Amino acid sequence: MLQIYCPYCQELREETEFSYSGEAHIARPLEPQQLTDAQWADYLFFRTNPRGIHHEMWYHASGCRRYFNATRNTQTYEIYETYPLGQQPALTCDIGGKR
Amino acid sequence: MIKCHSETIRTPLCDAVLAITSDTNAGIYMRENTFGHLNLRGNPTDKAFLSSIETVLALNLPLIPCSSVRSDVFSVYWLGPSDWLLMVPIGTESQVAADLRDSLMGQHSAVVDISSAQALVNLSGVKLPELLQKAIVYDCDPTHLPVGKVVQTTFAKTGVTLCRCEDGSIDLIICRSFSDYFTLWLRDASAEYGLAVVDACLSRPKVSAQT
Amino acid sequence: MSQPNRLSVGGRIDRSKPIEFSFNKRSYEGYAGDTLASALLANGVNLVGRSFKYSRPRGIMGHGAEEANALMQLGQGAVTVPNPKATQVELYSGMVATSTNGWPSVEFDLMAWLGKLGGPFMPPGFYYKTFMFPQAWWLRYEKFIRKAAGFGHISQQPDPDIYDKLNHYCDVMVIGAGPAGISAALEAGRNGKRVILADEQCELGGSLLASQQNINGASASDWLGTAVTELASMANVVLLSRTTVFGYYDHNFLAALEQRTDHLGPTAVKGTRQRLHRIRAKAVVLATGAIERPLVFGNNDLPGVMLAQSVSAYINRYAVVPGERALIMTSNDSGYQAALDIQSAGRTVVAVVDCRYHAEGRLAQMARAAGIEVITGHGVIEACGSHSVTGAVIAPLDQAGDQITGAQRSVSCDLIAMAGGWSPVVHLSCHTGSRPVWDEQLIGFVPGPNVQQQYCAGAVVGHYTLAHALSGGAAVGAEAAGAKVPEIHFDCGDETEAQAQALFLIPHSKSVSRAPKQFVDFQNDVTAAGIELAIREGYESIEHIKRYTAMGFGTDQGKTANVNGVAIAAKALHQSIQATGTTIFRPAYTPVTFGALAGRDVGSLFDPARYTATHQWHVAQGAKFENVGQWKRPWYFPKAGETMQQTLNRECLAVRNSVGIMDASTLGKIDIQGTDAREFLNRIYTNDWSNLKPGKCRYGLMLKEDGMVFDDGVTTCLSENHFLMTTTTGGAAEVLAWLELWQQTEWPELEVYFTSVTDHWVTYSLVGPNSRKVLEQLCNDVDLSAEAFKFMDYKAGTVAGIPARICRISFTGELSFEVNVPANQGHFVWQQIIAAGEAYDITPYGTESMHILRAEKGYIIVGQDTDGSLTPQDCGMDWIVSKTKAFSFIGQRSLHRSDTARSDRKQLVGLKPKDPAAIIPEGSQIVMDPNQQIPMDMVGHVTSSYWSVCLDHGIAMGTVKAGFSRMGETVYCPLVDGRTLAAEICSPVFYDPNGERHHD
């Protein structure tokens, strides 16, 4: 069971207070009607699903009910950082992260 | 049955099958305290918003995460960056809500009466720490949950909002429709300690203002 | 004489408390402090079971969790416990224990003949190669195999015991209370940290419980007593004995099982039998010790072949010597301790057979000085005996221990103690994902690199001397506490040992495949020959070898087998142990009951049951309830003597002819307000909300981004920027999270707030031609007339004096008013409505009638008629999909995908049974041709189906491929009982198609 730092409540909480919400930093296309089916499918269904560093969203369902982002290693489950919506991660694959 | 307040009002725990007991040797004591509950939303970085609140309540909204503020009349819990719970004396919720809405006119805010949606239960007793360990995954040790701290977390399979009172007891806010489950669970978990149910009370312990 | 193997003095047992118990229906006596194993050995009982595959006679070989053979069946009836290891069972008065296999008895087992004769035909993997043909006979084989295999049995009765859970947080979690763990806990505790110390045994102390050494002048026993007293006095230290930390999970989360009353026996149980401790630790100290390895030689599984350290433990801790004439075989110095202990206990040591060429270590010298014969450069190549050890064959070995170099000879003995080296208990560190590392010097695997904030001390990292375990423990205890490492010195005497030999398999005069079976994994009957065979067959990865031979699969997780197996495999593969690697371990370290995992979330506490404010009234009326999500909703309100159908008929007729009342409080209610509330609704619903005025309600449909129907409900405009959204009962939480998701992550610029008010308001639907007349009596501040209060209007006022919100919404097609009041006053208002409705014979109705009434009108129920795979168009609801909204609402783009544009999609239609009396079962599959071959081409299924008393025939809704273009066609539903029901595709609006009734 993970222990996750909620950036709003500003403390570590147990995973059971949260629910997972998929890959982060996916912006909804502003003009969906302009996209081809393939492009729309890419937004709708396809995810990077990496081994290693993953940026994902979590929802503090039994807490402050805010969504936030996390950078987690999908192999080791280590959570490197959590950060509010609208911010960029400090740790990415390109910036000295482990693979 | 916990005594009901008036002919027309049945608070969430009214239907819970709990006999009032006068056991003085119980490990856990439980009482239902009844307040009006208002949910308050607004922008904490907006001075106008903060000032509008202060004008009506005569206290400052808690801005530090998981903190609370009290006056003789009101308690305010921080629930989120733009989310607060305001507890007011029972029966005054409509007036307080109306006063707040007036004060907040034109500002992006919300005041929603949720008085019937929640119940507040106070738990105390020498066995309280172990009981909390059975139900709650949050670290309720006094060093981690000191007086005035507010934590929203899980209680067994439902949600709860906790606050440590000055006397060391814990106020728990539970959702109305889960109150039966809550009391069943509480009775089961406290069976080995002894559970005494104190009559529901309209007043609450007086505590000083905290941030 | 009772207890022939019991010594008259010594041990930690209490001779003043004798305990009666039975094993395989014979009575014996033991003492308080015994395990079942020590008590059996004390009584000279060593044949305790039969092995898994070959049914060979087996005895007790160890003294703790590493025991592979002595699986027991404890107790009877509902409290019977399958497969505890006799070495971990604390003896209690009246204990009833039996072997788990052996028929007709453990002494004379028919299966053993199968094992002897069939053994050569049952190599590893034989199940993959046999019992294949004919395929139809597989079930016959399976019955026989199931009976022949396996160990204990479970009770078929409900578990009468109670289990619970406790959540902990601590600064330092110390796992294992041997010398290293105790030392670490003392340091951390003295530094004021929150410490938890857990040990699987009934007493803290680990190896100290059997140690004869001194620590700084005090006996190990006295030192232990003082240490435990100090730990117990610290308020910041939690001591958990009888507690096995069985799993080490992410972020220093651990799970431990405490056996609170198993040692008292089933009838003495009061309170919880077992407790699951869930621990979040800042730092973890693994002080889990090491397990002694057996040596692999011919017939090393005979009763009487035991681990050397276990023999010492039985002598020193339990005052039991499990034999009269002992032979010791060792590849290192520690085997000599058993020889010395056996001799001190007054029994004969035939010899110590040391596989090494030179035995000049301190303990070897002590043995010689005590007159014990030491034979170096030799090995025991075979144990002799049929049901227990009666002798052994010894032969000289070469220096590598690969070959026999001379003549063999036989000796007589009844106990063979084997000391094959030490395997650190690395299991918990493996749980974290760290792979153990082979240490050439230690001849064992040690924990790999730390993944988490973890420290190790004691035998688990090869600190095998007592002094090193104590000092190492103190050091990590201080480190874990963030404190300075103390300068303590532990004087435990001379503990020097000579270098051990890396020897695992003792050669036999015959080849491995021909020699008497040389066991590696006792519990799963895996032999050295089996491992070599697996490799010959091409299974060269240690992961494959494990799975092909079943090595390490048992309840002991191969604790005594793993390293020997890896070493033998490495040799056969001509590579190093390092290169061969090892399989790793998953939780649980030892078996965990399901009861402990379930805790108190059983029975009525399994899942929360949610109730409305009116529940007690429903109960008093005799309502039957159904589960809708977690809620208990009245299903129907039977009167005395009514069948369910009669009740439904009565309820539906009452609603359509007079007035009914239903408690709809469970539907989700979300308060939505802000200047962008309207814009937000436009983005989240399919229809247009731009011009919904205050005081008006509108039905809304919500899609997921893939275009599929997700939820629906009526949303009311309370004021220009203020709305009340309703959702389905089951969807309430999901919808709220959905709204927050979009506002927070995608449209934070929209000024809108959401607040759940589901529990704050009760909602009572007053339904039927007389509904207005009932409500008028209670409401004098709202004009309820048809002209003033139109269909889909909302007004605020009072009902029975209570502030209320009233909406004229209909889910039944009848005139109806939904009354919302704060839930604290709900019960009161409900009673007033009932009283006011008496004159009209007001009829409470439940969810079943509600379903029938809406189905007659063709209204869908999301989650019943839809399943996440239907678009609005599939449901015939294209009318609710706006074509003019500026914003591309959630799901809109997906409605134009090639897949959602297909004309042969499943479409929701009405179904009228050809036989008017028929009710097609919900879930029935629909086919076009009932006479086609099986498997039939299924074109849809029935989603809702009821008897309609108002229409006097059965009605149904279902999905049918291209259903809209098939109006009037007949489809068929083949049923499970062999019948086929025919139905005509029609409009789902069976009743009042022009909707005249609810507009009155």
> For chain A, what's the residue count?
99
Q: Which of C428, C427, C444, C445 is nearest to C436 (CA)?
A: C445
Interface size, chain A vs chain C, as Cβ–Cβ contacts under 8 Å? 56
Residues of chain C with CATH 3.30.70.1400: 669-756
Q: Phi/psi at C718 (nearest 5 deg)?
A: -80, -40
C827 touches chain B (CB under 8 A): yes
Token code pair at residue C963: 């259903």
A8 touches chain B (CB under 8 A): yes
Tens of pLDDT, residue by residue over C702-740, are 999 999 999 999 999 999 999 999 999 999 999 999 999
Name chain C contacts of B12, Cβ cutoff 8 Å: 823-824
Residue C267: count of CB within 10 angstroms of its CB: 10
Q: Quickly list H helices, B79-122.
A: 93-103
C499 touches chain B (CB under 8 A): no
Q: What is the 3-state secondary structure (H, E, C) of C665-718?
A: CCCCEEEEECCCHHHHHHHHECCCCCCCCCCEEEEEEEECCCCCEEEEEEEEEE
Residues C345, C321 contacting (CB under 8 angstroms): yes
| Helix and strand numbers, DSSP H then E, in chain A | 1, 6
> Could you tell me the CATH superfamily of domain C163-290+424-480?
FAD/NAD(P)-binding domain (3.50.50.60)
* Residue C792 φ/ψ region, left for φ over 0, alpha for ψ in the -120 to 50 degree band, beta for the rest: left
Q: What is the largest CA-CA distance in chain C?
A: 116
Q: Phi/psi at C14 (nearest 5 deg)?
A: -110, 100
Site of tokens 């509010």? A84
Name chain B contacts of A17, Cβ cutoff 8 Å: 137, 152-154
Residues B147, B164 contacting (CB under 8 angstroms): yes
CA distance C655 to C426: 70
CATH ID of C1-156, from 3.40.50.2000, 3.40.50.10470, 3.30.70.240, 3.10.20.440 = 3.10.20.440
Determine whether the interchain pair B15/C674 forms a contact, defined as Cβ–Cβ distance below 8 Å.
Answer: no
Reduced to 3 states, what is the DSSP secondary structure of residue C278?
Answer: strand
CA distance C898 to C908: 20
Kind plus residue range of the DSSP H or E element containing C167: strand C163-175
CA distance C124 to C513: 12
Residues B85, B37 contacting (CB under 8 angstroms): yes
CA distance C169 to B83: 28
Tens of pLDDT, residue by residue over C545-556, are 999 999 999 999
The CATH topology of domain C669-756 is Alpha-Beta Plaits (3.30.70)
Residues C797, C979 contacting (CB under 8 angstroms): no
Q: What angle do CA C178, C183, C185 make, to 5 degrees?
A: 95
Residue A97 has pLDDT above 60, yes or no: no
B194: amino acid identity, one letter: G
- At residue A5 the predicted structure's pLDDT band, cuts being 50, 70 and 90, is very high
Residue C110 has pLDDT above 90, yes or no: no
Nearest beta carbon to residue A17 from set B66, B83, B153: B153
Q: Running DSSP on this structure, what letter comes out for residue B198?
A: P
CATH ID of A3-84, from 2.40.110.10, 3.40.50.1360, 3.40.50.970, 3.30.2270.10 = 3.30.2270.10
Q: Which of C582, C425, C616, C419 is nearest to C501 (CA)?
A: C419
Residue C903: count of CB within 10 angstroms of its CB: 9
Tens of pLDDT, residue by residue over C654-675, are 999 999 999 999 999 999 999 9
Q: Is C101 exposed, middle or buried (0-12, 13-18, 19+ CB in 10 A)?
A: buried
Tens of pLDDT, residue by residue over B83-117, are 999 999 999 999 999 999 999 999 999 999 999 99
Determine whether the interchain pair B81/A8 forms a contact, defined as Cβ–Cβ distance below 8 Å.
Answer: yes
Determine whether the interchain pair A35/C253 forms a contact, defined as Cβ–Cβ distance below 8 Å.
Answer: no
CA distance C732 to C718: 20
Nearest beta carbon to residue B137 from set A8, A16, A64: A16
Nearest beta carbon to residue C824 from set B82, B116, B134: B116
Q: What is the largest CA-CA distance in chain B?
A: 55
pLDDT above 90: percentage of residues in chain B: 78
Which are the contacts of C844, defined by CB distance < 8 A and separation ≥ 6? Answer: C618, C621, C623, C634, C637, C660, C661, C662, C663, C834
Tens of pLDDT, residue by residue over C918-940, are 999 999 999 999 999 999 999 99
Q: Which of C457, C453, C451 is nearest to C433 (CA)?
A: C451
C519 touches chain B (CB under 8 A): no
CA distance B119 to B122: 10
Residue C498: count of CB within 10 angstroms of its CB: 16
Q: Is C406 exposed, middle or buried (0-12, 13-18, 19+ CB in 10 A)?
A: exposed
Rg of chain B, C-alpha, whole Å: 17
Rg of chain A, C-alpha, whole Å: 15
Helices B179-190 + B128-135 axis angle, to 10:
130
Respond yes or no on whether the N-terminal peptide bond of residue C570 is cis (omega within 30° of 0).
no
Tens of pLDDT, residue by residue over C300-333, are 999 999 999 999 999 999 999 999 999 999 999 9
Respond yes or no on whether the N-terminal peptide bond of residue C507 is cis (omega within 30° of 0).
no
C196: amino acid identity, one letter: I
| Confidence (pLDDT) at B8 | 86
CA distance C168 to A22: 30
Token code pair at residue A78: 């280590």
Q: Quickly list H helices, C237-391.
A: 308-318, 335-344, 362-369
Which of A5, A26, A76 would you mutate first to test chain C, the one with the most C CBs within 10 A? A76
Helices C562-572 + C542-549 axis angle, to 10:
120
Q: Phi/psi at C205 (nearest 5 deg)?
A: 140, -30
Interface size, chain A vs chain B, as Cβ–Cβ contacts under 8 Å? 37
Residues β-bridged to residue C50 = C57
Q: Which of C248, C288, C283 is nearest to C476 (CA)?
A: C283
Pairing of β C305-307 and β C415-419: parallel
Least confident segment among C141-155, C188-202, C737-751: C141-155
End-to-end CA distance of chain A: 22
| Confidence (pLDDT) at B13 | 86
Residues β-bridged to residue C958 = C909, C942
> Given a contact as 3+ CB pairs under 8 Å, which chains touch A?
B, C
Tens of pLDDT, residue by residue over C811-859, are 999 999 999 999 999 999 999 999 999 999 999 999 999 999 999 999 9
Residues C364, C340 contacting (CB under 8 angstroms): no
Write down all domains in chain B, each with its CATH number in brackets: 12-31+117-190 (3.30.1360.120), 35-113 (3.30.70.1520)
| Confidence (pLDDT) at B2 | 43
Q: How far is CA C582 from the centre of its chain?
A: 26
Reduced to 3 states, what is the DSSP secondary structure of residue C235?
Answer: coil
| Chain B residues within 8 angstroms (CB to CB) of chain A | 65-66, 79-81, 83, 137-138, 152-154, 159
CA distance C759 to C761: 6
What pTM did the predictor assign?
Answer: 0.94
| Confidence (pLDDT) at B21 | 67
Determine whether the interchain pair A65/B83 forms a contact, defined as Cβ–Cβ distance below 8 Å.
Answer: yes
Determine whether the interchain pair A37/C897 forms a contact, defined as Cβ–Cβ distance below 8 Å.
Answer: yes
- Please give the average per-residue pLDDT across C396-422, as a whole number: 96
Q: How far is CA C695 from the centre of its chain?
A: 52
Nearest beta carbon to residue A3 from set C280, C737, C893: C280
Q: What is the largest CA-CA distance in chain A?
A: 43
- At residue B208 the predicted structure's pLDDT band, cuts being 50, 70 and 90, is very low
CA distance B149 to B151: 7
Reduced to 3 states, what is the DSSP secondary structure of residue A8?
Answer: coil
Residue C694 has pLDDT above 60, yes or no: yes
Residues β-bridged to residue C335 = none
CA distance C345 to C347: 6
Residue C129 has pLDDT above 70, yes or no: no
C467: amino acid identity, one letter: A
CATH number for the domain formed by residue range(s) C294-420: 3.50.50.60
Name chain A contacts of C744, Cβ cutoff 8 Å: 66-67, 85
Residues of chain C with CATH 3.50.50.60: 163-290+424-480, 294-420
Distances C432 to B40, C171, C248, C429, C435 between C-alpha atoms, Å: 44, 19, 6, 5, 9
Give the minimum alpha-carbon distance from A64 to chain B in angstroms, rounded to a whole number: 5
Residues C957, C988 contacting (CB under 8 angstroms): yes
| Confidence (pLDDT) at B198 | 83
Residue C496 has pLDDT above 80, yes or no: yes
Residue C615: count of CB within 10 angstroms of its CB: 23
Q: What is the 3-state secondary structure (H, E, C) of B113-174?
A: ECHHHEEEEEEECCCHHHHHHHHECCCCCCCCCCECCEEEEEECCEEEEEEECCCCCEEEEE
| Confidence (pLDDT) at C341 | 97
Token code pair at residue C396: 């000289």
| Chain A residues within 8 angstroms (CB to CB) of chain C | 1-3, 14, 19, 21, 27-28, 31-33, 35, 37, 40-41, 44, 57, 59, 61, 65-67, 75-79, 85-86
CA distance C938 to C960: 9
Residues of chain C with CATH 3.10.20.440: 1-156
> For chain C, what's the residue count?
1000
A26 touches chain B (CB under 8 A): no
Reduced to 3 states, what is the DSSP secondary structure of residue C637?
Answer: coil
Determine whether the interchain pair A1/C737 forms a contact, defined as Cβ–Cβ distance below 8 Å.
Answer: no
| Confidence (pLDDT) at C304 | 98
Q: How far is CA C327 from the centre of its chain?
A: 44
CATH number for the domain formed by residue range(s) C508-591: 1.10.10
CA distance C173 to A54: 30
